[in-house]
Amino acid sequence: MSVIAVRNIHKRFGNQDVLKGIDLSVAKGETVVLLGSSGSGKSTILRTLNLLDLPDEGDVFLHGNKLGQARPDGTRRYRGGELRNLRRRVGMVFQHFNLFPHLTVEENIMIGLRRVLNYSITQAREKARHHLDHVGLAEKALAFPDTLSGGQRQRVAIARALAMDPDVMLFDEATSALDPERVSEVLRTMRQLSQEGTTMVVVTHELGFAYNVADRVVFLHGGRILEQGTPTEILLHPTHAPTREFLHAHTEFRLPSA
Amino acid sequence: MRHIWDFSFLVHYLVPLGRGLMNTICLSGMVTVAGFTLGLLAAIASMSPLRTVRMASAAYVELLRNVPALVILFLFFYVIPVLTGFQNDRFLTACVAFSLYTSAYFCEILRGGFLAVDPGQWEGGQALGLSRAGIFCWIIAPQIIRAAMPSLANEAIEIVKISTVASTIAFPEFLYQTKIVSDIEYRPIETYTASAVVMTVLILALTWVSRIAARHFAGHRRKK
Ligand SMILES: Nc1ncnc2c1ncn2[C@@H]1O[C@H](COP(=O)(O)OP(=O)(O)O)[C@@H](O)[C@H]1O
Ligand SMILES: [Mg+2]
């Protein structure tokens, strides 16, 4: 059974149809990479998975259970409690980290544990330290986010999401705001999570990551899923022209393999 | 004609001047607390999803900001008793008038602080499963205070100065007492010089306290 799934999702912003019927289902332990050009709706899909954006049409499922209650007009209504319950089970890592600047690194991780999962301070601190250690930042527990490098901040953000013991992790261009030499430390952390069996949905432009880590690659175009399959199928033998153009644009300048 | 400076007469007036100073401090304190609270409510209203509530808040702020404090004070002191047949206490009148007046400024300061917080902070909190109230309390509000602290402190200092306007309705605050002493003794130069020094010391003390508060609120631990 899928951990998280969406069925026939439609989303409009103003008069722009951003998602035009998306079906996506993520199995336990699976790593799915979403590819697509800028503005193709990748972020919107991730944000629908944890209902940060509410779809205009379509359903969201957590462990096979359809969320929300039906309204007479066919759309669905989501209660605050249900949204919060979903979001604490779905970890999200943002392009710009969204760490809390007035809190120390460990307090950033503790706040969800304390205020959502009702941990005591001692328990929360212990768990925060454990997850910081996991991303290799144990010694930064008492630092403030603005004293860290971008790569370190993103690893803190990953630890913060992981500390909630989510059923699935969403990554929205987690390395796009980083200096090039900081990208690999974050990608390594993400690969490690994938290898440990974390269920993940990853939006990235790092094709090497997609090729080496993804179980499945999904290519989005014009608000629809154009094609999906194994990394080899999609990245090496794409069948649609837009996919080929996208891949070409992303690999035009690269070193020949030795 | 040469003026011969002599401050010695002032020792006879320490009690009334001290009382004036206390009144100034009480009035300013009350206005700061009430003005901040009203300003906070107006700021919250200005971010309401309801258009009418937002417009009401904007109208409130514009109205109070564009009328001099003196006019609002006279309005409450002279006009309202005529309309209601109820003579207000001077202290209360000044409190109400200045609280309304400064609440417009507090509202703008708090709104500015709110807008300065990155919207990504809400999403960061939502993604953890925090409630909106929780996000506001633990994530947004501390950052607003941090961003707005210098302006808030500035407004508190401004209030001390505005409070002297209450002398126009014969509320015995510091400036009013100063004027009486000066009139009795016929020595305005010394009296007002001394009162300026006292006011400056009071405001410097306030600045110093607000700096400490700012450092405390603003996460003093950030300063390495
Ligand atoms: N909150 C919003 N309001 C209006 N338009 C939006 C909003 N969020 C996204 N969009 C639009 O939806 C389209 C898809 O956005 P997004 O999902 O962020 O794309 P991607 O992440 O693939 O670059 C874009 O054209 C964007 O301008
Ligand atoms: Mg995006």
Residue B219 has a pLDDT of 57
* Predicted confidence band of residue B4 (pLDDT cuts 50, 70, 90): confident
Distances A160 to A4, A131, A184, B79 between C-alpha atoms, Å: 20, 8, 19, 59
User: pLDDT, tens digit, for every residue of A159-188?
Assistant: 999 999 999 999 999 999 999 999 999 999
What is the identity of the amino acid at A38? Answer: S
* Predicted confidence band of residue B17 (pLDDT cuts 50, 70, 90): very high
Evaluate whether A186 touches A154 at the Cβ level (below 8 Å): yes
* Two tokens, residue B4: 């011969």
Interatomic CA distance for residues A42 and A47, integer angstroms: 9
Inter-chain touch B120–A96, beta carbons under 8 Å: yes
Inter-chain touch A50–B127, beta carbons under 8 Å: yes
* Mean pLDDT, chain B, integer: 90
User: Is residue B217 pLDDT above 90, yes or no?
Assistant: no
Residue B80 has a pLDDT of 79
User: Is residue B153 pLDDT above 80, yes or no?
Assistant: yes
What is the identity of the amino acid at B19? Answer: R
Residue A1 has a pLDDT of 82
- Is A18 near ligand 1, meaning CB less than 6 Å away? yes
Residue B223 has a pLDDT of 42
Give the SS3 label for residue A192: helix
* Predicted confidence band of residue B1 (pLDDT cuts 50, 70, 90): low
Nearest CA in chain A to B127: A87
Residue B146 has a pLDDT of 85
Please give the residue that has the higher pLDDT: either B222 or A43.
A43
Evaluate whether A42 touches A53 at the Cβ level (below 8 Å): no
Q: How far is the CA of A123 from the centre of ligand 1 (A)?
A: 39
Determine contact: B116 vs chain A, CB below 8 A.
no
Mean pLDDT check: name the lowest of A32-36, B5-9, B168-172. B5-9
User: Can you give the three-state secondary structure of chain B, one letter per residue?
Assistant: CCCCCCCHHHHHHHHHHHHHHHHHHHHHHHHHHHHHHHHHHHHHHHCCCCHHHHHHHHHHHHHHHCCCHHHHHHHHHHHHHHHHCCCCCHHHHHHHHHHHHHHHHHHHHHHHHHHHCCCHHHHHHHHCCCCHHHHHHHHHHHHHHHHHHHHHHHHHHHHHHHHHHHHHHCCCCHHHHHHHHHHHHCCHHHHHHHHHHHHHHHHHHHHHHHHHHHHHHCCHHHCC
Task: Give helix then strand counts, H and E, for chain A.
Answer: 9, 12
Chain B contact set for A52 (CB, 8 A) = 123, 126-127
Interatomic CA distance for residues B75 and B72, integer angstroms: 5
Query: Among residues B112, B113, B134, which one has the least CA distance to residue B125?
Result: B134
Interatomic CA distance for residues A9 and A165, integer angstroms: 27
User: pLDDT, tens digit, for every residue of A77-116?
Assistant: 999 999 999 999 999 999 999 999 999 999 999 999 999 9
User: pLDDT, tens digit, for every residue of A117-147?
Assistant: 999 999 999 999 999 999 999 999 999 999 9
Q: Please state the rounded mean pLDDT for residues A230-240.
A: 97
Distance of CA B126 to the CA centre of its chain: 35
User: Is residue B215 pLDDT above 80, yes or no?
Assistant: no
User: pLDDT, tens digit, for every residue of A182-225?
Assistant: 999 999 999 999 999 999 999 999 999 999 999 999 999 999 99
Residue with tokens 């110093």: B208
Inter-chain touch A101–B143, beta carbons under 8 Å: yes
Q: Please state the rounded mean pLDDT for residues A249-255.
A: 88
* Two tokens, residue A128: 């925060």
Inter-chain touch A111–B121, beta carbons under 8 Å: no
Chain A contact set for B139 (CB, 8 A) = 100, 102, 111
- CA-based radius of gyration for chain A: 19
ipTM of this model? 0.93
Prediction pTM value? 0.86
Interatomic CA distance for residues B127 and A88, integer angstroms: 7
Inter-chain touch A100–B124, beta carbons under 8 Å: yes
Helices A105-115, A121-134: axis angle to 10 degrees equals 130
Q: Please state the rounded mean pLDDT for residues B153-163.
A: 93
* Two tokens, residue A17: 């149809």
CA angle, residues A124, A129, A130, in degrees to nearest 5: 100
Evaluate whether A33 touches A216 at the Cβ level (below 8 Å): yes
Shortest CA gap A163–chain B (Å): 10
Q: Please list the helix, strand and coil fractions of chain A in percent, rounded to the nearest 5, in that order.
A: 40, 25, 35
User: Is residue B175 pLDDT above 90, yes or no?
Assistant: yes
| Ligand 1 pocket test target in A18, A45, A173 with most atoms within 8 Å of CB | A18
Shortest CA gap B161–chain A (Å): 33
Shortest CA gap B96–chain A (Å): 35
Shortest CA gap A72–chain B (Å): 24
CA count, 13 A, side-chain hemisphere, A186: 30
Nearest CA in chain A to B221: A144
Residue B224 has a pLDDT of 39
What is the identity of the amino acid at A144? Answer: F
What is the identity of the amino acid at A74? Answer: G
Ligand in closest contact with the CA of A38: 1
DSSP B85: S
Interatomic CA distance for residues B86 and B77, integer angstroms: 10
* Predicted confidence band of residue B89 (pLDDT cuts 50, 70, 90): confident
User: pLDDT, tens digit, for every residue of B112-147?
Assistant: 999 999 999 999 999 999 999 999 999 999 999 888
Q: Please state the rounded mean pLDDT for residues A27-54.
A: 97
User: Is residue B220 pLDDT above 50, yes or no?
Assistant: no
Instruction: Return the number of other C-beta atoms located less than 10 Å from residue B61's C-beta.
Output: 22
For an interface test with B, the pick among A47, A89, A99, A102 (most B C-beta atoms closer than 10 Å) comes out as A102
* Predicted confidence band of residue B40 (pLDDT cuts 50, 70, 90): very high
CA angle, residues A170, A172, A176, in degrees to nearest 5: 145
